[in-house]
Amino acid sequence: MAAPALSRLSSAVLQRAASASRQSARLADSVPREVVDDIFSQALQKQTGVSLKYMLDFGSNPIERQLVLSAQFLHNELPVRLAHRVAELENLPYGLSAKPHVLKVRDWYVESFKELRSFKPVKDHSDELHFTKMLENIYNRHKNVVPVMAMGVADLKQELHGVGLNELPEIHRFLDGFYLSRIGIRILIGQHIALHEEQKADHIGMICTKCSPVQVARDAIYDARSICMREYASAPEVTIYGDPNFTFAYVPSHLHHMVFELVKNSLRAVNDRYDDLDAEPPPVRLVVAEGDEDVTIKVSDEGGGIPRSGLPRIWTYLYSTAQSPLPQMDTHGDGSDGPAILAGYGYGLPISRLYARYFGGDLQIISMEGYGTDAYLHLNRLGNVQEPLP
């Protein structure tokens, strides 16, 4: 359901953006005329999607020639994707476009767009090395997009206080599409950069060809229980059901991110429920299922669940339990989208769902009020689903 809605929004936004490019006062205030024209012209170009399988085929032998081809693709593709987002950022409803934090994000996109467009064609290995250097700068520039955008949305939310969570569906759709696009851009750049680094065993760039979901889950559980220990001085057990020797091609850092998020939520729910009780908290259960189409990871807890009426809230970007809109910035220093960035922002689940959807999977959550919650992380096993392009 989400994909058609996103593309509807996108084309509508782009049409408005294109026809309104001449009156685009805000952007034209800070950017030269010819750059504005170039952005809106690039925003009318079609984005080109890739698949996990394509990335594997492409990166399987990272000789110089392949890196040059990759750089040439990115040199064409990235400005188109960035321009789509700038056009979108110029046309947000409820005055969101004019919020200082949103303008800051927009300026990062414009800056990276300009750098890419002024880079001369990549012809040889030397060009490619310079290009990759520039990509690293861009990757770093955009590392705080999610928390800064969240601050812009928090500003809007404060302005519109009293507005129900589900009354701003276009903001939700925009953010879903915007963050999904960001995941795609960062994977393309991250993968290109990673191909320059020393390859880990069974890795092609960021992709592990023999990713063991049970092993990744073990690491994510370890991290989630450590955080839980710090917060509560105790952490429920997590039981894993699945074959540790089963592997498939996936991006382990994404998988870790998603499983960490689900397990962390389950540990919290169980701890909160059993805080005052003498009873031993029931273990969280994690099941890894191997299907032909999907690998599914289920995380089940008996943490009391939430009422059905409260479920939409877990997917919204407009709800947060945090008191003040001061998100943590990237403390990793490496530009990675580690979970720490989003702590307390309630963005963990919607962003995790986008990570799953990016490679054709999904994240579903069903809660039984008075009992517990089950989360199902579906991961497309074939990897030949083309990336969704909002």
Binding site for a second copy (CB under 8 A): 287, 289-294, 296, 298, 305, 307-309, 362, 364, 366, 368-372, 374, 376, 378
Query: What sign does the dihedral 291-294-295-296 (CA atoms) show?
Result: negative
Select 365 or 389, whichever has its Cβ closest to a second copy. 365
CB of 365 to a second copy, least distance (A): 10
Shortest reach from residue 286's CB to a second copy, in Å: 12
Q: Cα–Cα distances in Å, from 83 out to 79, 80, 94, 123, 148?
A: 6, 5, 21, 24, 19
At 16, list the tokens. Answer: 């408005």
Active site residue 203: no
Q: Which of 257, 271, 378, 380 is catalytic?
A: 257
Set 144, 265, 271, 380: catalytic member: 265
Which residue lies nearer to a second copy by CB, 225 or 353?
353
Q: How far is the CB of 313 from a second copy (least distance, A)?
A: 14
Nearest distance, CB of residue 295 and a second copy, angstroms: 8
Instruction: Name the catalytic one among 143, 256, 264, 378.
Output: 264
How far apart CA 317 and CA 191 sit, in angstroms, is: 28
Query: Which token pair is 98?
Result: 């004019």
Number of residues assigned to the chain: 390
Place of tokens 């309630």: 346
For residues 20 and 368, which CB has a smaller minimum distance to a second copy in the complex?
368
- The nearer residue to a second copy, 50 or 368, going by C-beta atoms, is 368
Distance CA 374, CA 346 (A): 18
Is 261 a known active-site residue? yes
- To which residue do tokens 């991110």 refer? 257
Q: How far is the CB of 141 from a second copy (least distance, A)?
A: 37
Complete edge-to-edge strand list for the sheet that includes strand 362-368: 238-241, 284-290, 294-304, 371-380, 362-368
Nearer to a second copy, 106 or 285 (CB): 285
Residues 266-302 as b or e (16 or more Cβ within 10 Å = b): bbbbbbebbeeeeeebbebbbbbeeeeebbbbbbbbb
Q: Residue 259 in contact with residue 297, Cβ under 8 Å?
A: yes
Catalytic site residue from 77, 88, 90, 261: 261
Tell me which residues are annotated as active site: 257, 261, 264-265
